[in-house]
Amino acid sequence: MTTTETDADGTEVRARTLFLDTARGLAGDRAPVWLMRQAGRYLPEYRALKERHAFWEMCRTPEIAAEVTLQPLRRFPLDAAIIFSDIMTPLPPMGVPVDFAPGPVIRSPLRSAADVARLATPGGDEVAPFVGEAIRLVRAEAEVPVIGFAGAPLTVAGYAVQGAGSSDYAEFRAWLHREPRAAHDLLDKLADVTTGYLRMQIEAGAEAVQLFDSWAGVHDRRGYATFGMPYARRVLDGLADTGVPRVYLAVGAAHLYPQIARLPAEVVSVDWRQPLDAVRAALPGKVLQGNLDPAVLLAEPGDLLAAARRVLREGQGGPHVFNLGHGVLQGTPPDNVARLVDLVHDFVREEGEG
Ligand code: 1CP
């Protein structure tokens, strides 16, 4: 299959479909590339906008959200855009105010069954119409597909109950044991709202969706089987009829791969802790997305390129979307991102390998 074309002067034209074809399981001539947090504070043009607008204002103003989404595409020949928003977006319309400082802060975290009972469950069109509008604006300008996204119920519940990001979510994990019924009610509401919200994004023009279960890995297998996987499954199943490729991300979650392997997602985004050839054996039939260590983008160019080549070689055993194992770090030099994206473009899959 040929997914790249060459124009009159011999330069490669990105076929619009490379990312989507790969996400659907077709291994093309090269791996498509996009980077989690490709928009954000490592780009001076983002920081310039951020000086004039608060984070929520940027998310809630479609023209600004679209502009921020497009910023990395103007610099780098990326194969997909991810809409600029946050996994916290559905919480305020459910009745949970969220501030950013710079990570999310919930001043009144959910604690009791009554707190959960009070939550609203806005329909897909009510959650965040500005996200749909931003997607339409990006679709009108971008040459590459737009990825919509949401947080997975377990990860969003972790913030809503813990009150902020945490390295271990101990408070939240204790709450799951103390208040399992309220936890299921909360996850149930989040699953409904998230499904509607993602369907709205697809209707607005998102051609793939990613479900971020960033903190799934802090839970043990039993906790994930009880509170994580069933709700992620419900959201993903709720999108099946759209035909849009579904990407599921979890970080530090190798102990959960037996469960993740059975989720209805075409693509699994994996962190850098294990090489892709080893992960492929644990996630049979899945397209793999990942998994360069984002810290490597802070290293010398020679070391960065060697590490990226290793990821590309390890990904050759099946369909592979090149990405980082997690988001771009704040101090990343944009020149290193340029070097990385060029390298992925120039790397040709070795026939018969992998
Ligand atoms: O001050 C600033 O500039 C705010 C920094 C920032 C940005 C740029 C936050 C606060 N969110 C975002 C954008 C964002 N968040 C995007 C779109 C941009 C892109 O990817 O190009 C996406 C997809 C997210 C998703 C997100 N937010 C996740 C899932 C991805 C992941 O990193 O695992 C999570 C966990 C969040 C929560 C969040 N929001 C912001 C921060 C700094 C964090 C994480 C830190 C924490 O838990 O405290």
**In this predicted model, what pLDDT tens digit does every residue of 55-73 receive, in sequence order?**
999 999 999 999 999 999 9
pLDDT at residue 217 is higher than 70? yes
pLDDT at residue 125 is higher than 70? yes
What is the distance in A from the centroid of ligand 1 to the CA of 293?
17
Element (H, E) at 174: helix 170-178
Tell me which of 33, 35, 37 to substitute to probe ligand 1's pocket, judged by most ligand atoms within 8 Å of the beta carbon.
37
Q: Residue 353's pLDDT is what?
A: 44
All domains of the chain, ordered by start, with CATH?
Answer: 4-92+121-148+194-346 (3.20.20.210)
Instruction: Tell me the pLDDT band of 350, cut-offs 50, 70 and 90.
Output: low
What is the percentage of the chain residues whose pLDDT exceeds 70?
94
Among 265, 272, 332, which residue's Cα sits nearest to residue 297? 332
| Bridge partners of residue 14, in order along the sequence | 4
Q: pLDDT (tens digit, 9 = 90+) per residue, 72-89? A: 999 999 999 999 999 999
Q: Residue 9's pLDDT is what?
A: 42
Average pLDDT score over residue span 133-155: 98
Ligand 1 atom closest to 165 (CA): 47
**Are 16 and 145 in contact, with CB atoms under 8 Å apart?**
yes
Average pLDDT score over residue span 150-162: 98
pLDDT at residue 2 is higher than 60? no
Q: What is the mean pLDDT of the chain?
A: 94
Instruction: Tell me the pLDDT band of 27, cut-offs 50, 70 and 90.
Output: confident
**Are 223 and 183 in contact, with CB atoms under 8 Å apart?**
no
pLDDT at residue 14 is higher than 80? no
Among 342, 259, 262, which residue's Cα sits nearest to residue 308? 342
Instruction: Tell me the pLDDT band of 348, cut-offs 50, 70 and 90.
Output: confident
What is the percentage of the chain residues whose pLDDT exceeds 90?
92
Q: Residue 10's pLDDT is what?
A: 40
Ligand 1 atom closest to 249 (CA): 33
What is the distance in A from the centroid of ligand 1 to the CA of 95?
20
| Amino acid (1-letter code) at residue 338 | A
Q: Residue 13's pLDDT is what?
A: 47
pLDDT at residue 298 is higher than 70? yes
Q: Which two tokens stand for residue 207?
A: 């051609």
Q: pLDDT (tens digit, 9 = 90+) per residue, 267-281? A: 999 999 999 999 999
**Are 22 and 320 in contact, with CB atoms under 8 Å apart?**
yes
Residue nearest to atom 35 of ligand 1 (CA): 214
| Amino acid (1-letter code) at residue 78 | L
Global pTM exceeds 0.90: yes
Tell me which of 86, 96, 161 to substitute to probe ligand 1's pocket, judged by most ligand atoms within 8 Å of the beta carbon.
86
Instruction: Tell me the pLDDT band of 11, cut-offs 50, 70 and 90.
Output: very low
Ligand 1 atom closest to 41 (CA): 3
Report the DSSP pairing between strands 12-14 and 4-6: antiparallel
**Are 311 and 332 in contact, with CB atoms under 8 Å apart?**
no
Q: Residue 16's pLDDT is what?
A: 82
Ligand 1 atom closest to 36 (CA): 20
Is the confidence metric ipTM above 0.90 for this complex?
yes
Q: What is the DSSP letter of 263?
A: S
